[in-house]
């Protein structure tokens, strides 16, 4: 009789996997990503972007944003669920930095509807991976 509650507990815990879900990209998003990463290899994930300019940001989809830094480095920023609207319409990604350390893993980002001037979603920065040309 005690096995049933233990079995239910094990099933419940097993269903709460923290593994990231694969991102399904549109064909245009995949082409944009391929273009940005062409000839580059993934480096070791970093905690924070060393510096960035919002004008060098490319929205790939609601879970992926790329920042071009310099002439050859692209930082891919992976977002947790909650910012899905970012890849469509008149939406902007807002972050608030305190202390000037730049965009960092764990920062909260909000999707802002620029037409209606309201927040429509939020998520956290899950990972920041630099992509570099080989030999750099």
pLDDT tens-place string over residues 71-97: 788 999 999 988 888 777 777 777 766
95 CB burial (10 A radius; 0-12, 13-18, 19+): middle
pLDDT at res. 69: 83
- Dig out the tokens for 84 from the structure: 């899905």
Distance of CA 48 to the CA centre of its chain: 13
Tens digit of pLDDT at every position of the chain (136 positions): 444 443 433 444 343 434 445 556 678 778 888 888 889 999 999 998 877 776 788 888 888 999 888 778 899 999 998 888 877 777 777 776 655 667 889 988 888 888 888 888 888 999 999 999 887 5
């Amino acid at each position: 009789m005690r096995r049933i509650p233990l079995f239910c507990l094990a099933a419940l815990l097993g269903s709460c996997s923290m593994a990231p879900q694969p991102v399904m990209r549109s064909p245009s998003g995949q082409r944009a990503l391929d273009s940005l990463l062409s000839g580059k290899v993934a480096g070791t994930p970093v905690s924070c972007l060393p510096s960035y300019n919002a004008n060098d940001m490319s929205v790939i989809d609601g879970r992926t944003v790329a920042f071009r830094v310099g002439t050859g480095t692209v930082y891919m920023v992976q977002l947790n669920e909650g910012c899905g609207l970012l890849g469509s319409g008149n939406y902007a990604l807002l972050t608030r930095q305190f202390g000037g350390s730049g965009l960092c893993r764990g920062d909260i980002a909000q999707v802002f509807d620029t037409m209606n001037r309201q927040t429509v979603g939020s998520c956290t920065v899950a990972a920041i991976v630099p992509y570099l040309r080989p030999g750099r």
